[in-house]
A and B are shown apart, each in its own frame.
Chain A
Amino acid sequence: MYKKIFLLLFASFVLVQCSSSDDDANLLDEKTVAYDRAKMLVHWADMIIIPAHSAFQASLSILDNSTKSFVAAPNQSNLDDLRSKWLVSYKSWQHIEMFDIGKAEEIYFKSKMNIYPIDKTWLDKNIDNGSYDLENANNYSSQGFPAVDYMLNGIGADDTAILNRFTNDVKYSNYLTSIVNKMVSNTETVVNDWNNYRTTFIGSTKNTASSSVNKLINDFIYYYEKGLRANKVGIPAGVFSGAPLMGNVEAFYKKDVSKDLLLEAMNASIKFYSGTSFDGLSSGPSLKSYLAHLNTQKGAESLSISILSKLESAKTSINSLSNSFIDQIESENNKMLVTYDAIQAVVVLLKVDMLQAFNINVDYTDADGD
C-alpha cells in the first residue's frame, strides 16, 4: 500500500515538474501568455490565408481557361488576354508566397511557382524534348510564373515572332499547357489540404520551434527578407554582387510589371502584419496588435507603430520607382538601393526587436558564410 502511495506521489511529481515544457516556457513570459495566440491563428487562417488561397486558385483557373483558348487559337487577341490573366494571377500569388507552411512547404510550392531567373537552357531543352519531370528540383526554375513569362514574352523578338512559334510548332503549346496544368494541380493540392490542415494549424499555439505561431512568424520574416527584399530588389540592384544583375528582376521578359508585383507583395506584407483581412474589410489579431499588447518600445516609439510606419515608407519608396526595374537599374540604380534600404530597415525590427518581444527564435540562418 505504501508502495502505491509512493508511486502515486512520485508520478504526480513527475507530472508537475515536467508535464508540459511548452506551457512552462510561456509562463516565463507572463505577458506572452496573456495574448490570445489561438484567436490570432484563427484570424490568420480564416480571414487571410484561406481566402487568399481561394482567390489565387480562382485567378489561376481563369489563367488556365485563357491558356486553353490561346493554345487553340494563338492570335494576338488571345495572347493579350492570356498576358493580362497571367499578371492578375501573378499579383494574386504575391499574397500567398509567404505562407510556406503545411502542404505548401511539403511540396516546395513556392519553388515550383516563382523561382527566377528561369533556367533558360533547361527550359528550352524541356520544350524541345517534350519530356521532363517537373517534380525534379532541377526543373523548379523551368516552371511557374517566370516560365510562363518566358513563354508569353521571351521566346520571340516580338509578338509576331512569339505567335509564330506557337502556330508553327506544337511543342510550345504543349509545354505551356503542361506548366499551367502543373500550377493548377499544385495549387489544388495546397488549397485542399487547408481543409484538414486548418485544425492542426489553429490548434498549435505554443511557443515552440514547430508551433504554427512560431513557424508562420518565421515564414513571414523569411519571406520579407528573402522573397521580397533580396529577390525582388537587392539581387537585381547588385546589393550582393559586384554589379547589378538585371536578368534577375521578377517578370524579366514582361519587363514593365516588376514594380506592380513588388507593390502587391508589400501590400500583402503590410496587411498580414496589421491583421487586415484578405478582403480588406475587417481586421483582427496580428503581429501589430500582439506587439501593442506587449507595449514593446523601440527608443521613444512603440515598436508596433514603428514597424508599420517603416513599412509604409518602404512602400512610398517603391512607388517612386519605374514600372520596369530594368529601366530603373539602368537609369538610376541608386533609387533601387535607397528602396532596398527602406525595405531592409524593417527586417532588423522584425527579426531582432519583434522576435525578442515575442520570445521567439529565428529558425533560419543567414548563409553569408565566412
Chain B
Amino acid sequence: MKFKSLPLYLFIACASLFLTSCSDDDDVVVDNTVTPPSTYKFERNGKNTVSHGGQTSRLKMASELYSGMKSSSSTKAGLNNMFNNGTGFSDATLNGTGKKIGSKTFASSVASSTVKPKFDAMITDFADNVIPNWSTTAANGTAGKMTDAGGRTVYINAKGHELTQLFTKGLIGGMTMDQIVNGYLTAAKLDGGTNIADNNAGTLVEGKDYTNMEHYWDEGFGYLYGEEADVKNPTLGKGVLLSKYAKKVNDSNSPGIGKIIYDAFIMGRAAIVAKNYTVRDAQAKIIQMNISKIIGYKAHDYLNDYVTKAAAGTPADAIHALSEGYGFVMSLQVTNDGTGKPYFSNAEVNVMLAKLDNFWTVSSADCTAMANQIKSKMSL
C-alpha cells in the first residue's frame, strides 16, 4: 500500500508547493479584473477611503485669490500671503492649513520653473500699478480702467492685461491640470516609494483607511471634483478653476467629455483596488488627454472671441476675453498628450505669449492663427 500511494503523496505535496511556495512571484495568476462602481464611491470595511481635503482647500483659496486680484482694497502683502503662505483668507478654515497654491503652481516635474514667478509678478503689478490707477483711464502704457459703452468695465495693467483673468486661468492649467495630469496620475507618482508593494499587500497609510496609491489618485480627482457637494453625483461648474470650464466645454464644445473623464476616474480608482495597473494607466491616459483638451478648447475659443469682440467695437469685452485666453495659452505647456509630453512646449507657448504681450497692439490675425494652430495640433 505504501508503495502504491507514495507517488500520489509526492504529487500532491509537490503540486501544493508549486501553488503556494512562492506566492509573491509574478507567475502566480491573481484575479485583478476591474469592476468599476457606478459612482466615485470607494470603501474599505465599510469606511470611506476617498479623501482630498487639501485639494478642496486649494480650490477655495483660488476663489478668494480670484476676487482679491480684482479688488481695489487688496494689498500686495495680503495677496502674497494668500498665494505663497496660505494665510489671510476670509474663510478662516483655509488659514494656516499648510496648503499653499504657490507651491503647486507649475510645480510638476515637467513644468518649467520660469512660469511661477510670473504669478508673483502679476500680484506685484496689480498692487503697485493697477490699484493706484483704479480711476485712471487706461491707455497703451498706462494702467487703469476701461469701460464699454453700457457694458463691461475692466481694470488693466499698462499692457492691457486684466490680471485676475491671466492669474486664474493660468492656475487652471498650472495648478489643477498640471497636478492631475503631470503629477498624481503619472506612474512616477502613483508607483513612488513602496506604493506598489503597499497597495498589493493592502498596507494602509498610518492612521488612514486608504493606501498611498489610492490616496494619490483621489488627490488628482480632488483637483477637479473637490468642490462638488456630492462626488457621487458631480455637476461640474464649481468654483473658478478646472471644474467651471469642464462644464462649459461639456455643455458646448464636447458634449459627454465630463462623463468620459468621470468614468475614467472611477475605472482607474477601481483598478487600483483590483491591483490592475495596466487598466489604471490606460484610464490615466484618457483623463490626461481629455483634460488637456478642455484647456485647448478654451484657449482656442477665447482667442477667437477676442477677434470677434475687437471687431464688434467692445474693447473691454475683447480685453476680458484675451485675458482669459492668455491664461489658457499659458496653461497649454502643462497639457499631457497621454505620453507625458505637452501638446505645446514651454518654448512654443512662450512664442505665442510674446505675440500676445501687449493687448493694445496685439494682432487679430495672430490670434486667429494661434487659435487654428491649437485646434489642429490638439485635434479639437
* Residue contact B6 to A242, C-beta cutoff 8 Å: no
Report the Cα distance A285→B110, complex, angstroms. Answer: 30
Please give the distance in Å from A352's CB to the nearest CB on chain B: 5
Report the Cα distance A6→B11, complex, angstroms. Answer: 11
Report the Cα distance A17→B18, complex, angstroms. Answer: 7
Report the Cα distance A351→B25, complex, angstroms. Answer: 25
Partner-binding segment picked from A30-38, A75-83, A168-176, A340-348: A340-348
Q: Tell which of A17, A241, A334 touches B17, judged by Cβ atoms closer than 8 Å.
A: A17
Contacts of A344 in B (CB 8 A): 109, 113
* Residue contact A6 to B109, C-beta cutoff 8 Å: no
Report the Cα distance A28→B346, complex, angstroms. Answer: 39
* Residue contact A13 to B17, C-beta cutoff 8 Å: yes
- What string of 1s and 0s marks CB contacts (under 8 Å) between A227-258 and chain B? 00000001001111111000000000000000
Known: A2-B6, A9-B10, A366-B192. A243 touches B113 (CB 8 A): no
Please give the distance in Å from B57's CB to the nearest CB on chain A: 10
Contacts of B201 in A (CB 8 A): none
Within 8 A of A (CB), among B302-322: none
* Residue contact B25 to A24, C-beta cutoff 8 Å: yes
Known: A240-B103, A242-B83. A334 touches B114 (CB 8 A): yes
Is residue B31 contacting chain A, with contact meaning CB distance below 8 A? no
Contacts of B99 in A (CB 8 A): 370
* Residue contact A352 to B187, C-beta cutoff 8 Å: yes
* Residue contact A337 to B187, C-beta cutoff 8 Å: no
- What string of 1s and 0s marks CB contacts (under 8 Å) between A354-370 and chain B? 00000001111110111
Contacts of A352 in B (CB 8 A): 187-188
Report the Cα distance A333→B219, complex, angstroms. Answer: 32
Q: Tell which of B6, B13, B80, B84 touches A10, judged by Cβ atoms closer than 8 Å.
A: B13
* Residue contact B21 to A333, C-beta cutoff 8 Å: no
* Residue contact A341 to B113, C-beta cutoff 8 Å: yes
* Residue contact B117 to A333, C-beta cutoff 8 Å: yes
* Residue contact A365 to B193, C-beta cutoff 8 Å: yes
Is residue A338 contacting chain B, with contact meaning CB distance below 8 A? yes
Report the Cα distance A351→B109, complex, angstroms. Answer: 11
Known: A240-B103, A333-B117. A6 touches B17 (CB 8 A): no
Contacts of A157 in B (CB 8 A): none
Q: Tell which of B9, B113, B117, B192 touches A6, judged by Cβ atoms closer than 8 Å.
A: B9
* Residue contact B85 to A337, C-beta cutoff 8 Å: no
Smallest Cβ-Cβ distance to B109: which chain A residue: A348
Q: Tell which of B54, B109, B192, B346 touches A362, judged by Cβ atoms closer than 8 Å.
A: B192
* Residue contact A18 to B80, C-beta cutoff 8 Å: no
Contacts of B26 in A (CB 8 A): 28
Chain B CB within 10 A, most for which of A9, A10, A370: A370
Known: A242-B85, A337-B113. A369 touches B192 (CB 8 A): no
Is residue A14 contacting chain B, with contact meaning CB distance below 8 A? yes
Q: Tell which of B25, B84, B187 touches A242, judged by Cβ atoms closer than 8 Å.
A: B84
Contacts of A6 in B (CB 8 A): 6, 9-10, 13
Contacts of A369 in B (CB 8 A): 98
Is residue B68 contacting chain A, with contact meaning CB distance below 8 A? no
Contacts of A364 in B (CB 8 A): 193
Describe A's contact surface by its main secondary structure: helix
Is residue B2 contacting chain A, with contact meaning CB distance below 8 A? yes
Please give the distance in Å from B124's CB to the nearest CB on chain A: 11
Report the Cα distance A18→B98, complex, angstroms. Answer: 47
Chain A CB within 10 A, most for which of B84, B99, B114, B116: B114
- What string of 1s and 0s marks CB contacts (under 8 Å) between B78-109 and chain A? 00100111000000000000110011000001
* Residue contact A337 to B21, C-beta cutoff 8 Å: no
* Residue contact A234 to B113, C-beta cutoff 8 Å: yes
Within 8 A of B (CB), among A144-163: none
Report the Cα distance A24→B27, complex, angstroms. Answer: 11
Chain A CB within 10 A, most for which of B110, B113, B120: B113
Is residue B112 contacting chain A, with contact meaning CB distance below 8 A? yes
Q: Tell which of B114, B120, B187 touches A243, judged by Cβ atoms closer than 8 Å.
A: B120
* Residue contact B14 to A9, C-beta cutoff 8 Å: yes
Is residue B22 contacting chain A, with contact meaning CB distance below 8 A? yes
* Residue contact B188 to A351, C-beta cutoff 8 Å: yes
* Residue contact A337 to B117, C-beta cutoff 8 Å: yes
Known: A14-B21, A242-B80. A237 touches B14 (CB 8 A): no
Known: A10-B13, A370-B54. A239 touches B113 (CB 8 A): yes
Q: Tell which of B14, B98, B103, B219 touches A13, judged by Cβ atoms closer than 8 Å.
A: B14
Contacts of B10 in A (CB 8 A): 6, 9
Please give the distance in Å from B191's CB to the nearest CB on chain A: 8
Contacts of B110 in A (CB 8 A): 348
Report the Cα distance A368→B54, complex, angstroms. Answer: 13
Contacts of A21 in B (CB 8 A): 22, 25
* Residue contact B114 to A341, C-beta cutoff 8 Å: yes
* Residue contact A238 to B2, C-beta cutoff 8 Å: no
* Residue contact B17 to A242, C-beta cutoff 8 Å: no
Contacts of A363 in B (CB 8 A): 193
Please give the distance in Å from A245's CB to the nearest CB on chain B: 13
Report the Cα distance A348→B182, complex, angstroms. Answer: 11
Smallest Cβ-Cβ distance to B17: which chain A residue: A13
Report the Cα distance A9→B102, complex, angstroms. Answer: 64
Smallest Cβ-Cβ distance to B212: which chain A residue: A365
Additional A-B contact list (17), CB under 8 Å, known A6-B6, A21-B22, A369-B98: A2-B2, A6-B10, A9-B14, A10-B13, A24-B25, A234-B113, A242-B84, A242-B102, A337-B112, A337-B117, A341-B114, A344-B109, A351-B188, A363-B193, A365-B193, A368-B103, A370-B219
Interface residues of B (CB under 8 A from A): 2, 6, 9-10, 13-14, 17-18, 21-22, 25-26, 54, 80, 83-85, 98-99, 102-103, 109-110, 112-114, 116-117, 120, 187-188, 192-194, 219, 346
Nearest 5 A/B pairs, CB to CB: A242-B84, A365-B193, A17-B21, A337-B114, A337-B113
Interface residues of A (CB under 8 A from B): 2, 6, 9-10, 13-14, 17-18, 21, 24, 28, 234, 237-243, 333-334, 337-338, 340-341, 344, 347-348, 351-352, 361-366, 368-370
Q: What are 5 A-B pairs with beta-carbon distances under 8 A?
A: A2-B6, A237-B113, A348-B109, A366-B192, A368-B103
